[in-house]
C-alpha cells in the first residue's frame, strides 16, 4: 500500500536547493545570479545565498569564463547549449562536467538562462575503461589461432578474424555477409536447422562439422557456438 503525502511547491523547491547533486542556477541577461542551489558549495566552495546578485564571470574566474563565453553568447541569442567541460574545484579536484544552458525567452527577448551542470567524471572513466577493454579484446580476437566468426540475428557474418580467413581460403570481405550454411559442405546442411534452433535458448553448441574451402576442398572442424546477450 502506498502513502501519498500532500506537499506544496516550496517542499520540492527545497529539495532542488539542498539535495540535487547537479548545479542548478538562473542567470539574468546581465549575467547576475538570481537563483543557485547548494551544489555550488561542492563545486565552487560558495554558498547559494552569497551567489545571489553576483556575476557569472566572478564565479567562473577568467580562464573558465573564457571557455564558457561562446556558449553564453549563444544562449543569450536564444540558442540552447549542451557541452562538456572540465571544472576544477577549490579542492583542486578536476571534474568532467556536462553543462546545459537553456534560454528564458519572454516576448521574444532573452531575459536570462537556466544552467544545469552535472558531474560525469565516473561516466567518462567508465567510457575510457570500456574503450581500453574493447581494444584489448579486439587484439585477442585478432591474434588467436582459432577461427572466430560473429553473426548478426539473421545469421549473416559481421566480423571474423584472420585465422578464419586463412582456414577457409576466403578474404575477409568474401566471408562478410555469408551464413554458416554458405560455408558448409552440401552433405552437412540437413543437420543445420535443429542445431540452429537450440542456440536462442542459450544452449552452447559443440559439434564437428565439415566446411568447404574456397578451392572446393573439405576441412573438418569442431564448432563451438553460442548466442550473445544482444542476439548475435
pLDDT in the model for residue 32: 97
Q: Per the structure block, which three cell numbers stand in for 92?
A: 583542486
Q: Per the structure block, which three cell numbers stand in for 187?
A: 552433405
Assign 160 to helix, strand or coil.
strand
pLDDT in the model for residue 7: 62
Q: Which helix (H) or strand (E) holds 25?
A: strand 23-28
Summarize pLDDT for 14-47 with one digit per residue, the tens: 776 677 889 999 999 999 999 999 999 988 999 9
Give the position of cell 575477409: 172
Quote the CA–CA distance of 141 and 162 in Å, as a whole number: 9
Positions of the chain with pLDDT lower than 50, given as ranges = 1
Strands 81-88 and 33-36: unpaired
pLDDT in the model for residue 5: 52
Quote the CA–CA distance of 13 and 169 in Å, as a whole number: 68
Q: Give this prediction's pTM.
A: 0.58
Closest-CA residue to 108 (of 77, 80, 82): 77
Q: Per the structure block, which three cell numbers stand in for 62?
A: 577568467
Amino acid at each position: 500500500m502506498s502513502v501519498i503525502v500532500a506537499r506544496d511547491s516550496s517542499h520540492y523547491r527545497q529539495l532542488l536547493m539542498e539535495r540535487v547533486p547537479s548545479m542548478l542556477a538562473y542567470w539574468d541577461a546581465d549575467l547576475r545570479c538570481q537563483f543557485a542551489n547548494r551544489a555550488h558549495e561542492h563545486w565552487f566552495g560558495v554558498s547559494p545565498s552569497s551567489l545571489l546578485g553576483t556575476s557569472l564571470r566572478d564565479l567562473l574566474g577568467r580562464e573558465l569564463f573564457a571557455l564558457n563565453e561562446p556558449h553564453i553568447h549563444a544562449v543569450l541569442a536564444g540558442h540552447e547549449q549542451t557541452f562538456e567541460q572540465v571544472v576544477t574545484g577549490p579542492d583542486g579536484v578536476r571534474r568532467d562536467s556536462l553543462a546545459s544552458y537553456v534560454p528564458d525567452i519572454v516576448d521574444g527577448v532573452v531575459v536570462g538562462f537556466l544552467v544545469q551542470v552535472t558531474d560525469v567524471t565516473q561516466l567518462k572513466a567508465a567510457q575510457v575503461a570500456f574503450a581500453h577493454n574493447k581494444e584489448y579484446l579486439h587484439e585477442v580476437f585478432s591474434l588467436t589461432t582459432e577461427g572466430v566468426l560473429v553473426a548478426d540475428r539473421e545469421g549473416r557474418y559481421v566480423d571474423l578474424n584472420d585465422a578464419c580467413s586463412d582456414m577457409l581460403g576466403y578474404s575477409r570481405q568474401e566471408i562478410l555477409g555469408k551464413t554458416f550454411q554458405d560455408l558448409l559442405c552440401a552433405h552437412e546442411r540437413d543437420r543445420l536447422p535443429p542445431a540452429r534452433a537450440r542456440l536462442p535458448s542459450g544452449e552452447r553448441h559443440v559439434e564437428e562439422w565439415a566446411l568447404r574451402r574456397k578451392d572446393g576442398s573439405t576441412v573438418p572442424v569442431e564448432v563451438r557456438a553460442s548466442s550473445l546477450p544482444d542476439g548475435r
